[in-house]
Amino acid sequence: MTNVNQTKRPGNLFGTPFGAGFGNNGIEYALKPGFIVKARNNFYVIEAREALTVDLFFSQTHTITASGNLVTNANMVPYGDKSMTALLDPDNGGTFTAGDYTNSVLSPSYDSGYIKFDDLEPSFGHLYQLCPTLPFQPKFLDTNHGEFLINQSAAGGSIPSAGGVPMGFTVTAPLSNATGSMEPVGTVSAKLYIKHPVGSPINVLDQAPEGDSGSASVGSLLGLSGFLDYTQSPIENPNWNYSLFIEHGENNLPSFRLCNDSEEFILDGRVRLTGWKYSIAELSMSQLSDLQSKGKVTYAIINPQGIPTSSSLSGPFLR
């Protein structure tokens, strides 16, 4: 497995609906030139703004078997042997062979661990506002037998205990012989966990910031806290409640962890960050006082590092 960006990646595999972009009324969440904002204890004026979109690709190394230059791995063939061959080696010219291939196709139980992307650091005088989003993947079911897993050698599908693999996208011969058919029943996606800045989990339960609050005998939660998936923030309609403000300085960078806890191979293993880049200028106290002398100063408060977790809270109000 590798956790670094790589060259063989599909990207936008299933397309996006018409109207995709910043989502419904997304522009209302943008800071506009001329706005004054307060971050920490400092005041800034927004001088300029431009749109910004970034794709972060997560990758995994697969050991591939092949026959006739096509993938023959039993767990991948249900997704289409030609399609998987193209995804794993998009520049192959009919010379696909068995071996190890690194790509943004993520297997079940994939876990990237937390990764910091250094290129997300803005230059001094710039501020990023980026919303993490995730692509969808269709989920199918054999409506004749009620199976979402199939073994190609078994007519009508196979239960997981018999070696079944995800349904994928092909209508196999055994299913056709058994008059089975595949119907879309929903979507699946990876789950995204975020620490912003590095080491500080966000959007989490106070008592279970890492997803595990202790012994199961006392009713702790395991793996449930603080994730985003396609349903919460899809690529075609970013949920701006999850947007991140990223400041200059390596210590202000977020880190991302992508997990696949479905039975499916995630064929488009990426996270899209959509938002804006701002040019900002800090206001001195004399400049702020001058503005106040001319009337009421209205400003927006932004919190680049989110709400403190329980481990970092302190003060008499907690007593």
Model pLDDT for residues 235-244, shown as the tens digit of each residue: 888 999 999 9
Q: Is the pLDDT of residue 155 over 50?
A: no
Residue 243 lies in a domain: no
Strand-pair category, 244-246 with 255-259: unpaired
Q: Is the pLDDT of residue 179 over 50?
A: no
- Our CA angle for 287, 32, 37, nearest 5°, is 45
Residue 274 lies in a domain: no
Residues 179-194: what's their mean pLDDT? 81
Total domains, the chain: 1
Residue 95 lies in a domain: yes
Which range of residues forms the domain containing residue 85? 60-103
Percent composition of the chain: helix, strand, coil (DSSP 3-state, to 5): 15, 30, 55
Instruction: Select from 198, 276, 247 the least CA-distant residue to 39.
Output: 247
Alpha-carbon span 81 to 132, nearest angstrom: 31
pLDDT in tens, 238-276: 999 999 999 998 888 999 999 998 888 999 999 999 999
End-to-end C-alpha distance for the chain, whole angstroms: 46
pLDDT of residue 8: 72
3-state secondary structure of 108: coil
Residue 249 lies in a domain: no
How many C-beta neighbours within 10 Å does residue 28 have?
A: 9
Question: Count of H helices and E strands in the chain?
Answer: 3, 18
Alpha-carbon span 200 to 311, nearest angstrom: 10
- pTM for the full model? 0.84
Residue 83 lies in a domain: yes
Alpha-carbon span 6 to 103, nearest angstrom: 7
pLDDT of residue 308: 64
Residues 188-196: what's their mean pLDDT? 92
Alpha-carbon span 66 to 77, nearest angstrom: 11
Residue 74 lies in a domain: yes
pLDDT in tens, 23-76: 767 788 889 999 999 888 889 999 999 999 999 999 899 999 998 888 888 888
How many residues are there in the chain?
Answer: 319
